[in-house]
Structure 1
Amino acid sequence: MTRERLSVVVTRRLPEAVETRLSELFDVQLRDSDTPMTREELVTAVQTADVLVPTVTDSIDGGLLGQAGENLRLIANYGAGVDNIDVATARQRGILVSNTPGVLTDDTADMTMALILAVTRRIPEGLSVMQKGDWTGWSPNALLGGRIGGRRLGVLGMGRIGQAVARRASAFGMQVHYHNRRRLRPEIEQELEATYWESLDQMVARMDVISVHCPSTPSTFHLMNARRLKLLKPTAVVVNTSRGEVIDENALTRQIRSGDIAGAGLDVYEHGTDVNPRLRQLPNVVLLPHMGSATLEGRIEMGEKVIVNIKTFEDGHRPPDQVVPSML
């Protein structure tokens, strides 16, 4: 007797190669439009599916999980971060949660370096001059930026991505410093040539660039708050490719507008797509639409991890990328 295929609901459009493979393996319901599901659509999905494949744009909270049907046994998140999912409630209801870690490390680290260079070398300002047709020729004093070689980089959160950024920054001649919940092993510190700071306050006060790479948790909410941002040197730059909630966006905007911080490069925002309008108006701020992980290779590898997690679960084993509350 042929075993009935798992019912899988995917909440967003995924790369064609990923959708094709999902369709081959499972009884999959794909999304027609590239828009987030409404709350009502998510309710229907959790009531009918064996496996839900959400993305970071979907809020899988306790209220939604309370309406889940008996068949829902796995939430295979298409993304490394799981702060969009109430993992503890899912576990209480016997629903496993998996993610896609490690896949986007290099892509996000590359984008971090791009933002550091874009802000310090004033690339968007130069691009704007060219697009407006205002360029009248080379000038010794036009659009002077700063050299990143020799600058101090303070990495806030030295996990996979933080370490990948440290390696790239070192190749550019930057001095690497970091603050982390736990100090790295001596051999890793030595390899990265990274200096550990137990005090975040002391580190940020001495850095030229602060790069944020920590997850969104209650303990990291507004970790870079108004008080801490005021410790930065007026020549310092802030870059964030992790989670917007880690920085007090309004305080950051005020500091940059007043000239107390030299600039910022942001790929994530405290309130999602609702970006502080004053932040948009600042020429020394580079804003990107959550592009840090946006490579075709990375998106396909994410999909491959989702498929492996579902297939392993279907075969009666623990998904290799299972997430449990103690990991958060």
Structure 2
Amino acid sequence: MAAHMSAGGKKIVGVFYQAGEYADKNPDFVGCVEGALGIRDWLESNGHHYIVTDDKEGLNSELEKHIEDMHVLITTPFHPAYVTAERIKKAKNLELVLTAGIGSDHIDLLAAAATGLTVAEVTGSNTVSVAEDQLMRILILLRNFLPGYQQVVKGEWNVAGIAHRAYDLEGKTVGTVGAGRIGRLLLQRLKPFNCNMLYHDRIRINPELEKEIGANFEEDLDVMLPKCDVIVINTPLTEKTRGMFNKEKIAKMKKGVIIVNNARGAIMDTQAVADACSNGYIAGYGGDVWFPQPAPKDHPWRYMPNHAMTPHTSGTTIDAQLRYASGVKDMLDRYFKGEDFPAENYIVKEGELASQYK
């Protein structure tokens, strides 16, 4: 399978979430099925066939109907089409898989590499959106905001019920597991709060930037964890990080820790998190990533105490949608012309995985 082919009659399938009644509420709402990334007219005017659906699961799904003859698949982390080795094997014409956003772990990257598929994403498109969301969740959990809001909705008034577990962010130690684009943006946004900042990553931040941010590097994750009042997960999901935060790893954390995870749900041991929230070892857990997605109704994180969970929304703000839609259009245009993408956008190229997935 060639990485780039010349233009002419390509079949492109996009898998996005349905907007339904919200589709017409904002003309910039392009990240949904109805918005179709805003590229339908452009694609079809250039002779391409563009199919968009939210139906992605199972042998009878709309996606499955088009697997054998599609050339390009566009999917998102927010409503991921799981591109398994079995699906890749069926996709005889597939040349390119694009992630509209950041994070391509819904794709079997080893199978993609072995088959010669190109996998790319819109690097940087929603980093600001996710970093802002992480900061919001830290404050929501530390200040015990949600029970207060729920009191108001229920017509109650019990200050003690909120205040007994509400804290300031100032003076707390916040550690990020991963300090790539999102992790660094979060650290920069935390600086004005006068908290102690730590980070663990396989690559150390440039010394000048590290000094400017005011964060300290921790080479050993197990040394960093017990120091932190707040831990933020900012590492990609790989075979090394899948299920990394299990019962044993959580036990290394400080009792009463707050965890924010907008990276990937499968980095956490689902039941271990639910148990630790239930017994109070984790004082609060917040994020917008689950495994699988959409999360089933019986997912234990829906019902554990002291959580601030939402559907996967942090990286799909309207601003982020416009950025990743523009990035997808740019890469498709380059693909049709046989040109390379920006180097940082590649996840799999010519059989090689990007370093963060190795």
TM-score for both structures, normalised by structure 1: 0.90
The equivalent residue for 1:326 is 353
Gaps of 5+ in 2: 1-6, 18-30
Contact 1:253–1:279 (8 Å) recurs in 2: yes
Change (3 A) 1:202 1:21: same
Residue 102 in structure 1 maps to residue 106 in structure 2: no
Per the alignment, do residues 318 and 229 of structure 1 end up closer, same or farther by CA in structure 2, a change over 3 Å counting? same
1:272-325, Cα deviation, whole Å (9 max, x unpaired): 303765543344211111121121110121111111111101101122223224
Q: Which residue does the alignment assign to 1:30?
A: 51
CA 1:39–1:100: 2 relative to 1, 3 Å: farther
Q: d(CA) in 2 for partners of 1:196 and 1:275?
A: 39
Q: Map 1:242-257 to 2 at 5 A.
A: 242-257=263-278
Q: In the alignment, which residue of structure 1 is the partner of 2:27?
A: none
Q: Distance in 2 between matches of 1:19 and 1:292?
A: 17
Secondary structure, counterpart of 2:189 in structure 1: helix
1:12 aligns with 2:16: yes
What is the letter of the counterpart of residue 23 of structure 1? D
Query: 1:58 matched to which residue of 2?
Result: 81
- State how 1:1-328 maps to structure 2 within 5 Å: 4-12=8-16, 14-15=31-32, 19-26=37-44, 27-31=48-52, 34-36=54-56, 38-40=58-60, 41-56=62-77, 57-70=80-93, 72-135=94-157, 139=159, 141-144=160-163, 145-272=166-293, 273-274=295-296, 278-320=300-342, 321-324=345-348, 325-327=352-354, 328=357
Aligned partners of 1:74 and 1:96 also within 8 Å:
yes
* Structure 1 residue matching 2:139: 3-state secondary structure: helix
How many Å apart are 1:246 and its aligned residue?
1.3
- CA shift at 1:201, angstroms? 1.0
Task: Work out whether residues 148 and 174 of structure 1, in 8 Å CA contact, stay in contact via their aligned partners in 2.
Answer: yes
Note closer, same or farther for the CA distance 1:312–1:35 as it changes in structure 2 (3 Å cut). Answer: same
Q: Secondary structure at the match of 2:174?
A: strand
Q: CA deviation at 1:157?
A: 0.5
Equivalent residues of 2:177, 2:231 under 8 A apart: yes
Output the CA distance in 1 between the equivalents of 2:292 and 2:338: 39
Aligned to 2:21: none
Aligned partner of residue 90 in structure 2, secondary structure: coil
Aligned-partner SS, 2:237: coil
Q: Please say if residues 278 and 305 of structure 2, whose CA atoms lie closer than 8 Å, have aligned partners that are also in contact.
A: no
Gap change, CA 1:189 and 1:6, over 3 Å in 2: same
For 2:255 and 2:109, how far apart are their aligned partners in 1?
40
Given that 1:155 and 1:179 are in contact with CA atoms closer than 8 Å, whether structure 2 keeps it comes out as yes
Letter in 1 for 2:321: R
Cα separation, 2, equivalents of 1:197 and 1:190: 14
The residue matched to 2:260 in structure 1 has which SS?
A: strand
Length, aligned pairs only: 321
DSSP 3-state at the match of 2:39: helix
Distance (Å, rounded) in 2 between the aligned partners of 1:190 and 1:268: 31
Tell me: higher relative CO, structure 1 or 2? Use CA pairs within 8 A at least 6 residues apart: 2
What does the per-residue CA deviation read over 1:8-32, in whole Å, with 9 as the maximum and x for residues that have no partner? Answer: 2212253566544333234232325
Q: Helix, strand or coil for the counterpart of 2:236? A: coil
TM-score w.r.t. the length of structure 2 is 0.83
> Compared with structure 1, are the counterparts of its residues 309 and 246 closer, same or farther at alpha carbon in structure 2 (3 Å cutoff)?
same
Secondary structure of the 1:254 match is: helix
Unmatched runs of 5 consecutive residues or more in structure 1 = none
User: How far is the alpha carbon of 1:247 from its aligned partner?
Assistant: 1.5
Q: Offset of 1:38 from its aligned partner? A: 4.3
Q: What is the CA distance between 1:58 and its match in structure 2?
A: 0.6
Work out whether residues 9 and 53 of structure 1, in 8 Å CA contact, stay in contact via their aligned partners in 2.
yes
**What is the SS of the residue equivalent to 1:143?**
helix
